Chain A
């Protein structure tokens, strides 16, 4: 049981380039989330999904897009990377409700935009 995995672990982009971050979970969780972590700001929610085929905006969605074509995968895309998107990105997943809201996190992707 791998839990939540993220690909890649580290990436360097030039301003204006695009990329996709992949998150996969093998716990059959309905909910999946993308966060970014910046020093002194904790984790901020970018986008989330409550099920296959559905996505919704979080606190800081601008500049990012997501897709949830399969229940186990949640993709985060940067169409035109900017230096302000330099951050550590975490994916998480959880069951839907009923006291099962504990989120399980992946190991993170470090992104540097030059």
Chain B
């Protein structure tokens, strides 16, 4: 079965510093990988996805993610964090039947 793991429950970063939220995956076949963000009391919002092609994927709000096949990772990155980036971030992988399997989530706290 397809699965993703987010090894950090929480990531703390100072405003203006680069941020990384980690995700590793386990799949059979080619992975379709996604990042979503959830702000307090809101639904999930799509950030970006990797289907095929360039290993560096650019998404919404200045986020990007690097697909690394040898390390089976899909880490979310941003060059300069904003306080408004503070939220809960989910990595997900497509399962058969167009379903998504989500990681447990990582809380990102950006302090000014």
Contacts of A107 in B (CB 8 A): 42-43
Distance between B32 CB and nearest chain A CB, rounded to angstroms: 6
Distance between A56 CB and nearest chain B CB, rounded to angstroms: 7
What is the count of residue pairs linking A and B with beta-carbon distances less than 8 angstroms? 56
Distance in angstroms between the alpha carbons of A105 and B97 in the assembled complex: 18
Contacts of A108 in B (CB 8 A): 41-43
Q: Is B28 an interface residue (CB 8 A)?
A: no
Distance in angstroms between the alpha carbons of A40 and B9 in the assembled complex: 8
Given contacts A43-B102, A102-B49, contact A90 B44 (CB under 8 A): yes
Q: Is A45 an interface residue (CB 8 A)?
A: yes
Asked whether, in the complex, the Cβ of A43 is within 8 Å of the Cβ of B90, the reply is yes
Interface size class of A (residues with CB under 8 A): 20 to 34
Asked whether, in the complex, the Cβ of A105 is within 8 Å of the Cβ of B94, the reply is no
| Choice from B32, B41, B46, B103 contacting A42 with Cβ under 8 Å | B103
* Chain B stretch 31-82: residues in CB contact (< 8 A) with chain A: 32, 34, 36, 41-46, 49, 51
Asked whether, in the complex, the Cβ of A105 is within 8 Å of the Cβ of B51, the reply is no
Distance in angstroms between the alpha carbons of A101 and B104 in the assembled complex: 20
Asked whether, in the complex, the Cβ of A50 is within 8 Å of the Cβ of B97, the reply is yes
Which of A58, A103, A106, A108 has its CB near the most chain B CB atoms (within 10 A)? Answer: A103
Known: A48-B99, A105-B44; 20 extra A-B contacts, CB below 8 A, are A31-B98, A41-B104, A42-B90, A42-B103, A42-B104, A43-B90, A43-B100, A45-B101, A48-B97, A56-B97, A90-B43, A90-B44, A97-B98, A101-B100, A102-B46, A103-B100, A104-B46, A105-B36, A107-B43, A108-B43
The 9 A-B pairs with the shortest beta carbon distances in the complex, nearest first, are A105-B43, A42-B102, A105-B44, A43-B102, A42-B104, A107-B43, A99-B51, A102-B46, A106-B43
21 contacts between A and B (CB under 8 A): A33-B99, A40-B104, A40-B105, A42-B90, A43-B44, A43-B102, A44-B102, A48-B99, A50-B97, A58-B99, A97-B98, A99-B51, A101-B94, A101-B98, A102-B34, A102-B46, A102-B49, A105-B36, A105-B45, A108-B41, A108-B43
Residues of A within 8 A of B (CB): 4, 31, 33, 40-45, 48, 50, 56, 58, 90, 92, 94, 96-97, 99, 101-108
